[in-house]
Amino acid sequence: MDSSPLDRTRAIDLLRTMETIRAFETRIEALFKQGLLPGFVHSCAGQEAIATGVCSRLDRADCITSTHRGHGHAIAKGIELDAIFAELYGKAAGACGGRGGSMHVADFSIGMLGANGIVGGGFGIAVGAAFAARYQRREQVAVCFFGDGAANKGTFHEALNFAGVHALPVVFVCENNRYAQFTAASRTTAVADISVRAAAYGIEGDSIDGNDLLAVIDATDRAVARARSGGGATLINMATYRHSGHYVGDAEQYRSREEVAASRSEQDPIQRFTAHIVAAGVVTESEIADVRLAVEARIDAAQQFAEAAPFPDPATAMRDVFTEAGS
Amino acid sequence: MDSSPLDRTRAIDLLRTMETIRAFETRIEALFKQGLLPGFVHSCAGQEAIATGVCSRLDRADCITSTHRGHGHAIAKGIELDAIFAELYGKAAGACGGRGGSMHVADFSIGMLGANGIVGGGFGIAVGAAFAARYQRREQVAVCFFGDGAANKGTFHEALNFAGVHALPVVFVCENNRYAQFTAASRTTAVADISVRAAAYGIEGDSIDGNDLLAVIDATDRAVARARSGGGATLINMATYRHSGHYVGDAEQYRSREEVAASRSEQDPIQRFTAHIVAAGVVTESEIADVRLAVEARIDAAQQFAEAAPFPDPATAMRDVFTEAGS
Amino acid sequence: MGSRRMTFGQATLEAMQYAMDEDPNVVVIGEDISWGGNFGQFRGLVDRYGPERVVDMPISESLIVAMAVGASAAGLKVVASMSFVEFTLGAMDEIVNQASKFRYMFGGQVSVPIVLRASDGVRGSSGAQHSSSLEGMFCNVPGLKVVAPSNGDDAKGLLRAAIADPDPVVYLEHKQITGQRSEVADGDHVVPLGSAKIVRPGSDISVVTYSNMVNHALVAAEELASLGVSVEVVDLRSLVPLDVATIAASAARTGVVLAAHESWTFGGFGAEILAQVRECVPDQSQLRTHRLGARSAPIPFSPTLEPAIVPGAADLVAEIRRILAV
Amino acid sequence: MGSRRMTFGQATLEAMQYAMDEDPNVVVIGEDISWGGNFGQFRGLVDRYGPERVVDMPISESLIVAMAVGASAAGLKVVASMSFVEFTLGAMDEIVNQASKFRYMFGGQVSVPIVLRASDGVRGSSGAQHSSSLEGMFCNVPGLKVVAPSNGDDAKGLLRAAIADPDPVVYLEHKQITGQRSEVADGDHVVPLGSAKIVRPGSDISVVTYSNMVNHALVAAEELASLGVSVEVVDLRSLVPLDVATIAASAARTGVVLAAHESWTFGGFGAEILAQVRECVPDQSQLRTHRLGARSAPIPFSPTLEPAIVPGAADLVAEIRRILAV
Ligand SMILES: Cc1ncc(C[n+]2csc(CCOP(=O)(O)OP(=O)(O)O)c2C)c(N)n1
Ligand SMILES: Cc1ncc(C[n+]2csc(CCOP(=O)(O)OP(=O)(O)O)c2C)c(N)n1
Ligand SMILES: [Mg+2]
Ligand SMILES: [Mg+2]
């Protein structure tokens, strides 16, 4: 973790992460539409600032829990691109040996405790990780990413209450993209700003523009510092927007083309960040172009790796149900 | 429902209900300690003002959901004493034919939708009843009684959020007796006053002294009026104290004798109410004594009824699993 | 009356409409329900009946079921979309401790007429949390009925019966067939719960099955016919109530029973089918009973692993050949 | 080494202490846990190990399990008291969708060493929500181990094994025996999961059972001995893994199997036991398989109804006499 001001190296690092997530999601979406990927996928394009900003302030040993829309979190936390790409193909070289797929990407070696196909599944797991860190006197933080829709699950309540009682080192980050599947948050959620709910648990609440990478970083710094210093949990509402449909293939009849276009053109977190760093003279346009080229090359390589990798041997299908090797 | 000021008739009605609950619980506790009752029982002695005050402001058609500590709710809502007494004995003449027992006393004909052995089980059921009333354009209210401990269940959150979104005619009444089983609320609950949580659902919160019958009535009137007029749900924290242990037999090592004694002598809702009405000249001491005598006689009669009633025939054990009669 | 080709999902939609037109107290609740459901099973309902009757729910599965219980005890009939069957696990307390027990433990005072519609089964790499079949759990819970149609026509008739039923019904719709087209009888019709159907008569072995495995069994039977093997396929249609008479009669005729399902073999419903056969077929001496289901693992994502855990038509063929030694 | 008389609950407490003394990463969480548990199974632990290690939880069952999953994936071993087994239903999503699948779906990256202790069974009018036995559900879930001891000595050894086990274990303690005294071996000992025990040898019939039904079976066997009937009682001790070899050997010896349990017959674990017997005993021609369990109803409160639904020793005697026609 580097808390120095935004110099060229840091800016390029941050940009590279956001661009990598965007390029990954764009590529995956294209491959899926061509019928080349199994299962189904949820793109986080448009929401890159949150994963990137938050994870940039975490140590490797800090943990995160993620969601069905979890590629960005995994990438920002540092998963190998080859491993995540191969996982989405269901290949043996995937992060989970092809067992998990898009909704279950995980890499415990970097504290990425798993995407989760169960909405709201991460709250208690993050609390458990924070509890373990506290118990073992490790100076670690757990971050739980979740959507606005997940904030209506009972698991939210149980986890935040306990985190509040025990002042656990956990940060609850709501990626509030205003929709859960095809339903606008206002139709199912009693409050617009999820951070209002912090008061119900005696914890700190914060609310920021989640498409503003620097605002994400600032809010994360405050919350992580609080967690590490024994000040307890924080609930942050980060406003954002998803550029693509709920899943790849979604007809998106629940929102207007104008709304999507406006967000893409005015709220795109990558555009906003690049505009900022160029204007501030930290990075040049051509450096940005270089980053993009390098990222594309990296994605190409990962795709090639994934495509070339073998599928798991069906004879291994019973392995790892239990810790003793299966047959 | 009578919203006139506290005249003699109303005061005696209210007192009779509280005294009936107290006498019922006292008798049940004694019978249980003698080993005469099956299963286990939870006494609500000390909390009578809440059940009595709230239910006194409801119509017969209004619904309530109750808890494992539900005898008072059932009695205040108007269950036949014979039926509840026989139910606790497991007799065929019991409110549920002896199928339910203490934790499952119900009488749907008077809107008593059941005590519940699952903590937090009533939240969604009350919301469902309120939803049905709204859908069928009935001017009805649902009241959900629950304990401070239940406020940490995820079901609380899911139900209150939905009630908030749809402004449903439901009143959530927290009987905050400061303990859940043997654990003080402060050790498991992030906020002391549960009504703080109302803001998380965009509904009204209220907090009162639940041992003050008149305060209970006032708060209920406000909430019920709001519900009936389309103003939506209310969450009320009602502070109270249980005189007995969590269940009959509880060694009560988690709280001091002094604490219990102080509450019994200073906070007893019945004593406080009688002191008030006598001081106000509404009812005389001798009228109060008459009420008590009549209540004792009624409890005696119910006990005799229950003891004399036959047990269900084992041959009927498979009835009512499904609506078609079983064998 | 005639019939039309439509998807299983559309067939259920017709049943919903008959039920909703008939009884204004039938309401439908579920997440994103006004957007039509994952397989179009609810498409257009909100336009026809309005958002007060077709209610979009928050992501709050335990509330969905609890609310259905409360509303149905108060006079409504509630069809709740649970989306993927794994999400019912988040409402298991409400399903088992409340819905299934309400009528009995309250001494018959109320019924709980709710239908929980849930999509189960594998559909090509949906992963461990979106591929399971959980009827093994539901069937072990007294007070729940469990329905698992294999085709659109039955789906329509069984859903009509499920909504008309006064008690809680878990209605399982297999993901792989909800979007598939088949002939569905016109007009209103009811398939009573508890009526199995012999969808292909045969004399060498009785495959007793339900849901999409019926379709696999029909494929397998066709293939085995070319080897001279005559397979009888019994489609249970509802698991609770279970039509033991039809199973027992088939078993008595063929003498060999294979209970087959997609869900896990160990502790699964196939064992119950076989136990029933053993209890009901009078002459046990010649009877042979077998079962086929998923191996005991969560359903893997990878296209090469999924079919190694969950059986399909080819596995049925292989198992029947092994059993009959052909 | 000697032994001492103590309750089943106290025996488990000894196992907890050996485990906690050995490994500082073993923590215990549960509602009111510092008050010792409903049957004293946790008494004194908080004094010995402190409130950071023996943690009182809010009434938040789904959090309890999810937190156990997260904490165990992060290096702890968590024993979670679920109190009554019906409360696990409020955490079924966490048990099935997370705990049981974590290791497999993440490709073996982590294990989830948690033990969920839950009190099941009838204990005299505890009512519909506090009397059930739910092993039928748990055993159908791949990735979960399931333990159900019948006596204090096994309870101690099996709990020791469960805590040592790297995977999620559901540890079922029957309410009727948790407070009962019996001889428990001194010192540290382990009963490996998957090892059934013949607790009474016999030659006429094999009663294959577990949990408190073992005790009923022993009573029944004693009574039947006076009629000249020799009953073998097989105590499974763990249901997953299941010691099929011991069951099959007993079945082969006696030729008649009665699978017995307190939980519901229909869709229950007894059917699985019988299916295993049919699959593993080589000579099927003379084999007879039967089962006894609860009738399909929620458990009623009334003292006259409860025993009409849930079987006990007298029902076992009657059933065995019916089967053997004596
Ligand atoms: C327990 C559960 N219920 C429902 C679903 C189906 N589902 C998948 S994503 C989703 C919407 C989630 O919305 P939100 O939390 O806002 O996340 P977003 O998709 O917007 O990132 C739903 C309802 C699920 N996966 N799990
Ligand atoms: C889901 C569930 N978890 C745990 C229990 C065990 N239990 C019964 S009563 C109780 C305490 C309830 O506390 P509170 O809600 O404050 O009600 P009170 O007993 O104080 O009236 C607990 C934990 C239960 N019955 N149901
Ligand atoms: Mg969202
Ligand atoms: Mg309390």
pLDDT tens per residue across span C83-101: 999 999 999 999 999 999 9
d(CA A26, CA A45): 8
Evaluate: CB of B22 within 6 angstroms of ligand 2.
no
Q: Which of B42, B68, B104, B238 to mutate for ligand 2's pocket (most ligand atoms within 8 Å of CB)? A: B68
Q: Which residues contact B65 (CB under 8 A, 6 or more apart)?
A: B113, B114, B116, B121, B122, B123, B125, B126, B129, B142, B143, B144, B145, C70
D52 is catalytic: no
Q: Phi/psi of residue B109, each to 5°?
A: -70, -20
For ligand 1, atom 13, the nearest C-alpha belongs to A180
The beta-carbon neighbor of D301 closest among B99, B187, B189 is B99
For ligand 2, atom 12, the nearest C-alpha belongs to B180
Distances in whole angstroms, Cα of residue A212 to Cα of each of A18, A120, A268, A276: 12, 25, 9, 10
Using only the alpha carbons of chain D, give its radius of gyration: 19
Q: With contacts defined as CB-CB under 8 Å, which chain A residues touch D51? A: none
Q: Domains in chain D and their CATH numbers?
A: 3-185 (3.40.50.970), 197-321 (3.40.50.920)
C14 is catalytic: no
pLDDT at A122: 98
The beta-carbon neighbor of D129 closest among C62, C97, C143 is C97
Q: At what angle do helices B122-135 and B154-166 cross, to 10 degrees?
A: 20
The string of pLDDT tens digits covering residues B151-191 is 999 999 999 999 999 999 999 999 999 999 999 999 999 99
Neighbours of B165 (CB within 10 A): 23
The beta-carbon neighbor of B152 closest among D58, D128, D297 is D58
pLDDT at A327: 39
Which residues have beta carbons under 5 A from ligand 3 (an ion)? A 147-149, 177, 180
Structure tokens at C213: 């495995």
Distances in whole angstroms, Cα of residue A225 to Cα of each of A57, A162, A167, D178: 10, 20, 13, 47
pLDDT at D283: 82
pLDDT at D282: 83
Whether the pLDDT of residue B200 is over 70: the answer is yes
Structure tokens at B324: 């078609």
SS3 state at B277: helix
Q: With contacts defined as CB-CB under 8 Å, which chain B residues touch C25? A: 136
The string of pLDDT tens digits covering residues D244-278 is 999 999 999 999 999 999 999 999 999 999 999 99
Q: With contacts defined as CB-CB under 8 Å, which chain D residues touch B105? A: none
Ligand 1 atom closest to A69 (CA): 21
Q: Which residues contact C25 (CB under 8 A, 6 or more apart)?
A: B136, C75, C76, C77
Quote the Cα angle for A120-A126-A131, to 5°.
Answer: 140
For chain D, give the percent of residues with pLDDT over 90: 97
Which residues of chain D are under the pLDDT cut of 70? none
For ligand 2, atom 8, the nearest C-alpha belongs to B119
Global pTM? Answer: 0.98
Whether the pLDDT of residue C62 is over 50: the answer is yes
pLDDT at B302: 98
Which residues of chain A are under the pLDDT cut of 50? 1-2, 326-327
pLDDT at D317: 98
Chains touching chain D, criterion 3+ CB pairs below 8 Å: A, B, C
Q: Domains in chain A and their CATH numbers?
A: 8-307 (3.40.50.970)
Interface contact flag, B124 C103, Cβ < 8 Å: no
Averaged pLDDT for residues B268-289: 97
Distances in whole angstroms, Cα of residue C238 to Cα of each of A313, C83, C217: 37, 20, 17
SS3 state at A47: coil
- Site residues for ligand 1, CB cut-off 6 Å: A 67-69, 117-120, 147-150, 175, 177, 179-181, 246; C 31, 59, 61, 83, 87, 90
Q: How confident is the model at residue C284 (pLDDT cuts 50, 70, 90)?
A: confident
Q: Give chain B's mean pLDDT.
A: 96
For chain D, give the percent of residues with pLDDT over 70: 100
ipTM higher than the 0.95 cut: yes
Q: With contacts defined as CB-CB under 8 Å, which chain D residues touch B40? A: 126
Whether the pLDDT of residue C1 is over 80: the answer is no
pLDDT at B4: 58
Instruction: Judge whether A167 is closer than 8 Å to chain B, CB to CB.
Output: no
Q: Are B171 and B144 in contact (CB under 8 A)?
A: yes
Whether the pLDDT of residue B85 is over 50: the answer is yes
pLDDT at D284: 82
How many angstroms separate the alpha carbon of residue A240 from the centre of ligand 3? 9
Averaged pLDDT for residues C171-182: 97
Ligand nearest to the CA of D93: 1
pLDDT at B249: 87
The string of pLDDT tens digits covering residues B97-136 is 999 999 999 999 999 999 999 999 999 999 999 999 999 9
CB pairs under 8 A between C and D: 137
Whether the pLDDT of residue B300 is over 60: the answer is yes
Instruction: Judge whether A324 is closer than 8 Å to chain C, CB to CB.
Output: no
pLDDT at B326: 45
Instruction: Judge whether A150 is closer than 8 Å to chain D, CB to CB.
Output: no
pLDDT at B204: 98
pLDDT at A326: 45
| Dihedral in degrees, nearest 10, Cα atoms D249, D252, D256, D262 | 20
Q: With contacts defined as CB-CB under 8 Å, which chain D residues touch A142? A: 70
Evaluate: CB of B180 within 6 angstroms of ligand 2.
yes
Q: How confident is the model at residue B327 (pLDDT cuts 50, 70, 90)?
A: very low
d(CA A28, CA A26): 6
Compute the Cα dihedral for A55, A60, A65, A68 and give only its sign: positive
Chains touching chain C, criterion 3+ CB pairs below 8 Å: A, B, D
d(CA D231, CA D221): 5
For ligand 2, atom 11, the nearest C-alpha belongs to B180
Interface contact flag, A125 D105, Cβ < 8 Å: no
Which DSSP letter does residue A150 get? Answer: G
Interface contact flag, B187 A203, Cβ < 8 Å: no
Q: Which residues contact A30 (CB under 8 A, 6 or more apart)?
A: none
d(CA C268, CA C271): 6
| Residue C230, Cβ density class (10 Å: 0-12 exposed, 13-18 middle, ≥19 buried) | middle
CB pairs under 8 A between A and B: 72
Distances in whole angstroms, Cα of residue A223 to Cα of each of A177, A204, A216, B189: 21, 8, 11, 22
Whether the pLDDT of residue B3 is over 90: the answer is no
Tell me which of B123, B136, B323 to substitute to probe the interface with C (most C C-beta atoms closer than 10 Å): B323
The beta-carbon neighbor of D93 closest among C90, C104, C127 is C90
